[in-house]
Amino acid sequence: MRKYVIMGVQGSGKGTQSELLCADLKLVHISVGDIFRWHVQNHTKLGAQVRRIMALGELVDDDLVESVVRERLDQHDWNFGFVVDGFPRNGRQAEFFMESYDIDAVIHLELPEEEVKRRVLSRRLCPGCGMDYNLIADRPKVEGRCDICGTQLITRADDTPEALAARLRDYAEKTSPVLELFRRKEVVHDVDARPSADDVQAAIRKTLGLPAYTPAG
């Protein structure tokens, strides 16, 4: 059983690296942001509660986040383990998490602020199938259209310069202390997030002592 948390500023590649890590190790990727985005897109009651806060780049209420995380982990569909992405984001969430689950490692993706801005502001998302694109490194084949399902790509509501600034502020104020908490438990693995996605994945696996990544197919 492998239980990991992945941390890093917005745009550091948490989602991509989690997916690569989960693919052949049969881990389950639990992205709190993705769960919320699903609710917003599907107009659920929870979606209505978080939509505005998310669009502003602010943090959703702790009770709500904790219940979402608990409900997700209670599904126990993670026989081989999980990678939690986007949680915990502040001291209280970290306490809740550490009381309930033992963590084997925290992967910390490090990215300089200039690179964060460059990456985040060029990010595009397919509202149809959830596929992520990046106009710098990972362009769609047809401009503005999803390669998989052809849906018109959108910019995430919180990928604006204003919302990004708010999220970076929140990260520095609230999430950095969480990292310090995990550091004291000696579970943090710092990884340079600047290289290509494959190279970052290789570095993650090396530091965690995991088998090398074997792309499917």
The residues binding ligand AMP (CB under 6 A) are 10, 32-33, 36, 53-54, 57-60, 65, 86-87, 89, 93, 158, 167
Pick 13 or 86: Cβ nearer ligand AMP: 86
- Three-state SS at 152: strand
DSSP β-ladder status, 132-134 and 123-125: antiparallel
Q: In terms of DSSP H, where are the helices of the chain? A: 14-25, 32-41, 45-55, 62-73, 91-100, 113-120, 161-170, 176-184, 197-208
- Say which residues have a Cβ less than 8 Å from residue 32's Cβ, sequence separation at least 6: 65, 68, 69, 84, 85, 86, 87
User: Out of 72, 119, 123, 124, which one is annotated catalytic?
Assistant: 123
DSSP string, 24-71: HHTPEEEEHHHHHHHHHHTT-HHHHHHHHHHHTTPPPPHHHHHHHHHH
**CB 90, min distance to ligand AMP, A:** 7
Q: Which is nearer to ligand AMP, 51 or 202 (CB)?
A: 51
Nearer to ligand AMP, 24 or 138 (CB): 138
Q: Nearer to ligand AMP by C-beta: 33 or 140?
A: 33
Please, which residue, 86 or 140, has the CB nearer to ligand AMP?
86
Active site residue 123: yes
14 is catalytic: yes
Shortest distance, CB of residue 58 to ligand AMP, whole angstroms? Answer: 6
Q: Which candidate in 37, 119, 124, 156 is catalytic?
A: 156
Q: How far is the CB of 31 from ligand AMP (least distance, A)?
A: 6
Amino acid at 34: D
Catalytic residue among 72, 89, 119, 124: 89
- Write down the catalytic residue from 14, 72, 119, 124: 14
Q: Whole-angstrom Cα distance, residue 181 to residue 163?
A: 26
| Residue nearest ligand AMP by beta-carbon distance | 33
What residues contact 142, with CB distance under 8 A and at least 6 apart?
none
Active site residue 89: yes
Question: What is the Cα–Cα distance from 43 to 30, expressed in whole angstroms?
Answer: 20
Q: How far is the CB of 209 from ligand AMP (least distance, A)?
A: 27
Give the shortest CB-57-to-ligand AMP separation in angstroms: 5
Residues marked as catalytic: 14, 89, 123, 156, 167
